Amino acid sequence: MLRITDKAFKYTSAVNTDLKKRFEQIIREQRAAAKAAQAAARTVTNSVVPIRTPSFA
């Protein structure tokens, strides 16, 4: 999160903000992150191979 003292900070007045759009953007980003995490978990799950030990009888 940017601070007011950061050069990259851009002030937006309350009149020019649209909270609905901002919350929709946050929800989209969270869904995309969750989707990416699920894909990564599937990749890890599919790439793990159990070690088979010889059975001694």
Dihedral, 7, 8, 14, 19 alpha carbons, nearest 10: -160
pLDDT higher than 80, residue 12: yes
Contact 8, 2 (CB under 8 A): yes
What are the domain boundaries of the chain? 17-42
Model pLDDT, residue 57: 60
| Selection from 7-11, 31-35, 41-45 with the highest mean pLDDT | 31-35
The per-residue pLDDT for range 13-42, each reduced to its tens digit, is 888 888 999 999 999 999 999 999 988 887
Among residues 44, 20, 40, which one has the least CA distance to residue 32? 40
10-24: buried (b, 16+ CB within 10 Å) or exposed (e) per residue? Answer: eeeeeeeeeeeeeee
